[in-house]
Protein backbone atom coordinates (compact mmCIF):
# COMPACT_ATOMS: atom_id res chain seq x y z
CA UNK A 1 0.00 0.00 0.00
CA UNK A 2 1.80 3.12 -1.24
CA UNK A 3 0.77 6.56 0.05
CA UNK A 4 -3.00 6.02 0.04
CA UNK A 5 -5.23 9.07 -0.07
CA UNK A 6 -7.63 7.49 2.42
CA UNK A 7 -7.38 5.82 5.78
CA UNK A 8 -5.68 2.46 6.07
CA UNK A 9 -8.00 -0.55 6.51
CA UNK A 10 -9.47 -1.21 9.96
CA UNK A 11 -7.23 -3.07 12.39
CA UNK A 12 -7.65 -4.42 15.91
CA UNK A 13 -5.29 -3.99 18.86
CA UNK A 14 -2.84 -6.80 19.50
CA UNK A 15 -2.35 -5.57 23.08
CA UNK A 16 -4.41 -3.40 25.38
CA UNK A 17 -4.48 -2.57 29.04
CA UNK A 18 -5.20 -0.10 31.80
CA UNK A 19 -2.77 2.18 33.59
CA UNK A 20 -3.54 3.77 36.94
CA UNK A 21 -2.00 7.25 36.86
CA UNK A 22 -3.14 8.36 40.30
CA UNK A 23 -5.54 7.29 43.05
CA UNK A 24 -8.53 8.47 41.00
CA UNK A 25 -7.77 8.10 37.27
CA UNK A 26 -7.06 4.97 35.22
CA UNK A 27 -6.26 5.19 31.50
CA UNK A 28 -7.36 2.77 28.81
CA UNK A 29 -4.61 2.17 26.21
CA UNK A 30 -4.14 -0.07 23.19
CA UNK A 31 -1.34 -1.00 20.84
CA UNK A 32 -1.85 -1.86 17.16
CA UNK A 33 0.17 -2.40 14.03
CA UNK A 34 3.73 -3.71 13.98
CA UNK A 35 5.49 -4.56 17.27
CA UNK A 36 8.98 -3.15 16.98
CA UNK A 37 7.88 -0.73 14.28
CA UNK A 38 8.13 3.07 14.31
CA UNK A 39 6.35 4.20 17.50
CA UNK A 40 3.55 6.75 17.24
CA UNK A 41 1.10 7.99 19.86
CA UNK A 42 -2.36 9.28 18.87
CA UNK A 43 -3.76 12.14 20.99
CA UNK A 44 -7.50 12.57 20.61
CA UNK A 45 -9.36 15.84 20.62
CA UNK A 46 -11.99 17.30 22.87
CA UNK A 47 -10.81 17.46 25.55
CA UNK A 48 -13.04 14.66 26.73
CA UNK A 49 -14.05 12.98 23.49
CA UNK A 50 -11.92 9.83 23.55
CA UNK A 51 -10.41 7.77 20.74
CA UNK A 52 -12.16 5.54 18.21
CA UNK A 53 -11.36 2.61 15.93
CA UNK A 54 -10.53 5.12 13.18
CA UNK A 55 -7.79 6.65 15.34
CA UNK A 56 -5.59 3.69 14.40
CA UNK A 57 -6.02 4.11 10.66
CA UNK A 58 -3.77 7.07 9.85
CA UNK A 59 -0.69 4.84 10.10
CA UNK A 60 0.65 2.03 7.89
CA UNK A 61 0.04 -1.02 10.10
CA UNK A 62 3.04 -2.92 8.73
CA UNK A 63 5.45 -0.13 9.63
CA UNK A 64 4.06 1.68 12.69
CA UNK A 65 3.80 0.61 16.32
CA UNK A 66 0.56 2.50 17.03
CA UNK A 67 -0.33 3.58 20.58
CA UNK A 68 -3.84 4.93 21.17
CA UNK A 69 -5.22 5.86 24.58
CA UNK A 70 -8.06 7.77 26.18
CA UNK A 71 -7.12 10.79 28.26
CA UNK A 72 -8.29 11.35 31.83
CA UNK A 73 -12.06 11.52 32.04
CA UNK A 74 -12.45 10.45 28.40
CA UNK A 75 -13.59 7.45 26.38
CA UNK A 76 -12.86 4.18 28.12
CA UNK A 77 -10.68 5.73 30.82
CA UNK A 78 -12.23 5.96 34.27
CA UNK A 79 -13.92 7.71 35.89
CA UNK A 80 -15.58 9.08 32.75
CA UNK A 81 -16.13 12.81 32.80
CA UNK A 82 -14.16 13.29 36.03
CA UNK A 83 -12.96 16.89 36.37
CA UNK A 84 -10.95 16.50 39.55
CA UNK A 85 -7.22 16.07 38.97
CA UNK A 86 -7.70 16.94 35.32
CA UNK A 87 -5.36 19.62 33.97
CA UNK A 88 -3.01 19.87 31.00
CA UNK A 89 -0.04 19.20 33.29
CA UNK A 90 -1.77 16.01 34.47
CA UNK A 91 -2.38 14.88 30.88
CA UNK A 92 1.20 15.63 29.86
CA UNK A 93 2.49 13.59 32.80
CA UNK A 94 0.15 10.74 31.81
CA UNK A 95 1.56 10.60 28.27
CA UNK A 96 5.09 10.36 29.59
CA UNK A 97 4.09 7.76 32.15
CA UNK A 98 2.47 5.69 29.41
CA UNK A 99 5.58 5.94 27.22
CA UNK A 100 7.74 4.66 30.05
CA UNK A 101 5.22 1.96 30.93
CA UNK A 102 5.31 0.66 27.35
CA UNK A 103 9.10 0.79 27.17
CA UNK A 104 9.17 3.16 24.20
CA UNK A 105 12.29 5.32 23.86
CA UNK A 106 10.96 7.98 21.47
CA UNK A 107 7.79 8.31 19.44
CA UNK A 108 6.07 10.38 16.78
CA UNK A 109 3.32 12.50 18.38
CA UNK A 110 0.09 12.84 16.35
CA UNK A 111 -2.76 15.06 17.54
CA UNK A 112 -5.63 17.12 16.19
CA UNK A 113 -7.70 19.98 17.60
CA UNK A 114 -7.29 19.72 21.40
CA UNK A 115 -4.89 16.86 20.57
CA UNK A 116 -2.65 19.38 18.78
CA UNK A 117 -2.62 21.55 21.91
CA UNK A 118 -1.72 18.59 24.08
CA UNK A 119 0.92 17.40 21.60
CA UNK A 120 2.64 20.79 21.73
CA UNK A 121 2.50 20.92 25.53
CA UNK A 122 3.85 17.37 25.80
CA UNK A 123 6.67 17.89 23.30
CA UNK A 124 7.72 21.12 24.98
CA UNK A 125 7.86 19.35 28.35
CA UNK A 126 9.57 16.20 26.99
CA UNK A 127 11.37 17.05 23.73
CA UNK A 128 13.85 14.17 24.11
CA UNK A 129 10.94 11.70 23.97
CA UNK A 130 9.70 12.95 20.58
CA UNK A 131 10.72 12.04 17.04
CA UNK A 132 8.49 14.68 15.47
CA UNK A 133 4.90 15.90 15.41
CA UNK A 134 1.88 15.70 13.11
CA UNK A 135 -0.62 18.39 14.10
CA UNK A 136 -4.09 19.05 12.72
CA UNK A 137 -6.64 21.79 13.44
CA UNK A 138 -4.39 23.90 15.66
CA UNK A 139 -5.84 25.26 18.89
CA UNK A 140 -3.56 27.58 20.89
CA UNK A 141 -5.99 27.99 23.83
CA UNK A 142 -6.27 31.76 23.69
CA UNK A 143 -9.25 33.82 24.79
CA UNK A 144 -9.68 35.17 21.27
CA UNK A 145 -10.09 31.66 19.90
CA UNK A 146 -12.51 30.63 22.63
CA UNK A 147 -14.63 33.72 21.99
CA UNK A 148 -14.60 32.94 18.28
CA UNK A 149 -15.95 29.45 18.87
CA UNK A 150 -18.64 30.70 21.22
CA UNK A 151 -19.81 33.63 19.09
CA UNK A 152 -18.22 33.52 15.63
CA UNK A 153 -20.21 30.53 14.46
CA UNK A 154 -23.35 32.66 14.24
CA UNK A 155 -21.86 34.35 11.17
CA UNK A 156 -21.99 31.05 9.26
CA UNK A 157 -24.57 28.89 11.04
CA UNK A 158 -26.98 31.37 12.61
CA UNK A 159 -29.66 28.74 13.12
CA UNK A 160 -27.28 26.48 15.07
CA UNK A 161 -25.94 29.42 17.09
CA UNK A 162 -29.41 30.69 17.91
CA UNK A 163 -30.33 27.24 19.22
CA UNK A 164 -27.10 27.19 21.25
CA UNK A 165 -27.61 30.65 22.76
CA UNK A 166 -31.35 30.10 22.95
CA UNK A 167 -30.87 27.36 25.51
CA UNK A 168 -30.12 30.22 27.93
CA UNK A 169 -32.28 33.10 29.16
CA UNK A 170 -31.66 36.33 27.20
CA UNK A 171 -29.93 38.02 30.13
CA UNK A 172 -27.24 35.29 30.26
CA UNK A 173 -26.29 35.23 26.59
CA UNK A 174 -23.59 37.89 26.96
CA UNK A 175 -21.33 35.36 28.69
CA UNK A 176 -22.13 32.00 27.16
CA UNK A 177 -19.20 30.17 28.75
CA UNK A 178 -20.08 31.14 32.32
CA UNK A 179 -23.76 30.46 31.79
CA UNK A 180 -23.10 27.04 30.26
CA UNK A 181 -20.55 26.20 32.93
CA UNK A 182 -23.11 26.83 35.67
CA UNK A 183 -25.38 24.28 34.05
CA UNK A 184 -22.76 21.74 32.93
CA UNK A 185 -21.20 21.61 36.40
CA UNK A 186 -24.55 21.03 38.08
CA UNK A 187 -25.22 17.67 39.71
CA UNK A 188 -28.85 17.81 38.61
CA UNK A 189 -29.34 15.79 35.39
CA UNK A 190 -32.35 17.91 34.51
CA UNK A 191 -29.99 20.89 34.31
CA UNK A 192 -26.65 19.53 33.08
CA UNK A 193 -27.81 17.05 30.42
CA UNK A 194 -29.91 19.47 28.31
CA UNK A 195 -27.01 21.95 28.45
CA UNK A 196 -24.58 19.26 27.32
CA UNK A 197 -26.83 18.30 24.41
CA UNK A 198 -27.11 21.93 23.30
CA UNK A 199 -23.33 22.39 23.55
CA UNK A 200 -22.62 19.22 21.56
CA UNK A 201 -25.16 20.06 18.85
CA UNK A 202 -23.58 23.47 18.29
CA UNK A 203 -20.08 22.04 18.05
CA UNK A 204 -21.25 19.34 15.66
CA UNK A 205 -22.76 21.93 13.34
CA UNK A 206 -19.37 23.65 12.94
CA UNK A 207 -17.21 20.57 12.34
CA UNK A 208 -17.35 20.20 8.56
CA UNK A 209 -17.15 22.34 5.47
CA UNK A 210 -20.26 20.53 4.22
CA UNK A 211 -22.28 19.77 7.35
CA UNK A 212 -25.13 17.29 7.32
CA UNK A 213 -28.51 18.78 6.51
CA UNK A 214 -29.51 18.46 10.14
CA UNK A 215 -27.05 20.89 11.74
CA UNK A 216 -28.62 20.23 15.11
CA UNK A 217 -26.04 17.48 15.53
CA UNK A 218 -26.24 14.13 17.30
CA UNK A 219 -28.40 13.65 20.36
CA UNK A 220 -27.70 9.95 20.97
CA UNK A 221 -25.42 8.31 23.47
CA UNK A 222 -25.83 7.64 27.15
CA UNK A 223 -25.77 10.36 29.76
CA UNK A 224 -22.04 10.02 30.55
CA UNK A 225 -20.89 10.20 26.93
CA UNK A 226 -23.19 13.18 26.38
CA UNK A 227 -22.11 15.08 29.47
CA UNK A 228 -18.40 14.24 29.69
CA UNK A 229 -17.08 15.97 26.54
CA UNK A 230 -19.16 19.13 27.05
CA UNK A 231 -18.11 19.39 30.69
CA UNK A 232 -14.44 18.84 29.89
CA UNK A 233 -14.40 21.34 27.04
CA UNK A 234 -16.03 23.98 29.20
CA UNK A 235 -13.61 23.24 32.05
CA UNK A 236 -10.54 23.67 29.85
CA UNK A 237 -11.94 26.77 28.14
CA UNK A 238 -12.67 28.40 31.52
CA UNK A 239 -9.06 27.84 32.60
CA UNK A 240 -7.42 28.61 29.22
CA UNK A 241 -6.11 25.08 29.10
CA UNK A 242 -4.50 25.46 32.54
CA UNK A 243 -1.58 27.18 30.84
CA UNK A 244 -0.02 30.63 30.96
CA UNK A 245 -1.22 33.03 28.25
CA UNK A 246 0.75 32.46 25.07
CA UNK A 247 2.63 29.53 26.59
CA UNK A 248 2.63 27.27 23.55
CA UNK A 249 4.15 29.89 21.25
CA UNK A 250 6.50 31.21 23.92
CA UNK A 251 7.97 27.75 24.57
CA UNK A 252 8.21 26.80 20.91
CA UNK A 253 12.04 27.17 20.77
CA UNK A 254 12.25 24.04 22.94
CA UNK A 255 11.08 21.97 19.97
CA UNK A 256 12.39 23.95 16.99
CA UNK A 257 14.71 21.05 16.21
CA UNK A 258 11.85 18.58 15.75
CA UNK A 259 10.23 18.02 12.34
CA UNK A 260 6.56 18.96 12.18
CA UNK A 261 3.72 18.66 9.70
CA UNK A 262 0.78 21.01 10.30
CA UNK A 263 -2.51 20.31 8.50
CA UNK A 264 -5.43 22.72 8.69
CA UNK A 265 -8.71 23.24 6.86
CA UNK A 266 -9.08 26.64 5.23
CA UNK A 267 -12.68 26.89 6.47
CA UNK A 268 -12.19 25.54 9.98
CA UNK A 269 -14.81 27.34 12.08
CA UNK A 270 -13.76 25.80 15.38
CA UNK A 271 -10.02 26.51 15.19
CA UNK A 272 -9.41 29.29 12.63
CA UNK A 273 -6.59 28.73 10.14
CA UNK A 274 -4.73 31.76 11.51
CA UNK A 275 -3.60 29.53 14.39
CA UNK A 276 -1.79 27.20 11.99
CA UNK A 277 -0.20 30.07 10.07
CA UNK A 278 1.12 31.63 13.29
CA UNK A 279 2.51 28.31 14.51
CA UNK A 280 4.25 27.58 11.20
CA UNK A 281 5.65 31.10 11.01
CA UNK A 282 7.30 30.70 14.42
CA UNK A 283 8.63 27.17 13.78
CA UNK A 284 11.64 27.08 11.42
CA UNK A 285 11.36 24.19 9.00
CA UNK A 286 7.69 23.53 9.71
CA UNK A 287 5.67 22.13 6.81
CA UNK A 288 2.19 23.64 6.61
CA UNK A 289 -0.60 22.21 4.46
CA UNK A 290 -3.77 24.30 4.25
CA UNK A 291 -6.55 22.20 2.74
CA UNK A 292 -8.64 24.44 0.51
CA UNK A 293 -11.90 22.48 0.69
CA UNK A 294 -12.09 21.43 4.34
CA UNK A 295 -13.29 22.50 7.75
CA UNK A 296 -12.21 21.07 11.09
CA UNK A 297 -12.60 17.33 11.25
CA UNK A 298 -9.78 14.92 10.36
CA UNK A 299 -12.20 12.84 8.30
CA UNK A 300 -12.79 15.32 5.50
CA UNK A 301 -11.10 13.86 2.41
CA UNK A 302 -8.44 16.52 1.90
CA UNK A 303 -7.37 16.54 5.52
CA UNK A 304 -7.29 12.74 5.71
CA UNK A 305 -5.13 12.62 2.59
CA UNK A 306 -2.63 15.13 3.99
CA UNK A 307 -2.39 13.36 7.35
CA UNK A 308 -1.78 9.98 5.73
CA UNK A 309 0.74 11.55 3.34
CA UNK A 310 2.57 12.95 6.36
CA UNK A 311 2.79 9.65 8.23
CA UNK A 312 3.94 7.88 5.07
CA UNK A 313 6.58 10.52 4.39
CA UNK A 314 7.85 10.35 7.96
CA UNK A 315 8.16 6.59 8.12
CA UNK A 316 10.18 6.65 4.89
CA UNK A 317 12.49 9.60 5.59
CA UNK A 318 12.08 10.73 9.21
CA UNK A 319 10.94 14.13 7.94
CA UNK A 320 7.91 15.76 6.31
CA UNK A 321 9.54 17.81 3.59
CA UNK A 322 9.62 16.38 0.10
CA UNK A 323 13.01 15.05 -0.94
Asked if 63 contacts 243 with a C-beta cutoff of 8 angstroms, the reply is no
CB atoms closer than 10 angstroms to residue 53: 13
Active site residue 268: yes
Q: What is the DSSP string of 117-175?
A: HHHHHHHHH-GGGEEEEEEES-----HHHHHHHHHGGGGT-HHHHHHHHHTS-GGGTTS
Reported as type and span, the H/E element at residue 304 is helix 301-317
User: Which residues neighbour 142 within 8 Å (Cβ) at sequence distance 6 or greater?
Assistant: 240, 245, 246
Reported as type and span, the H/E element at residue 94 is helix 88-102
How far CA 243 is from CA of 71, 77, 186, 238, 247, in Å, comes to 17, 23, 25, 11, 6
Asked if 157 contacts 205 with a C-beta cutoff of 8 angstroms, the reply is yes
Active site residue 55: no
| Active-site residue, from 74, 126, 268, 289 | 268
| Active-site residue, from 113, 116, 204, 289 | 113
Active site residue 296: yes
The Cα–Cα gap between 63 and 167 comes to: 48
Sign, Cα dihedral of 309, 311, 315, 317:
positive
Torsion-angle region of 285 (φ positive above 0: left; ψ -120 to 50: alpha; else: beta): left
Residues recognised as catalytic:
113, 268, 296
Amino acid sequence: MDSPATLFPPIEPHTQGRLAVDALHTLHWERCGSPGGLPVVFLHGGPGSGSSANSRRFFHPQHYDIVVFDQRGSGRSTPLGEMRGNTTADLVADIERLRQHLGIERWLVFGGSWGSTLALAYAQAHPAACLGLVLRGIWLVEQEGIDWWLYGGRQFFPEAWEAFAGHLPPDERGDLLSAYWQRLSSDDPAICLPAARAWNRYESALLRLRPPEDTAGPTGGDDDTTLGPARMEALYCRHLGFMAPGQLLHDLPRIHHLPVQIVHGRYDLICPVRNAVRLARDWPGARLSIVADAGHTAFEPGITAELVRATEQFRRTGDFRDA
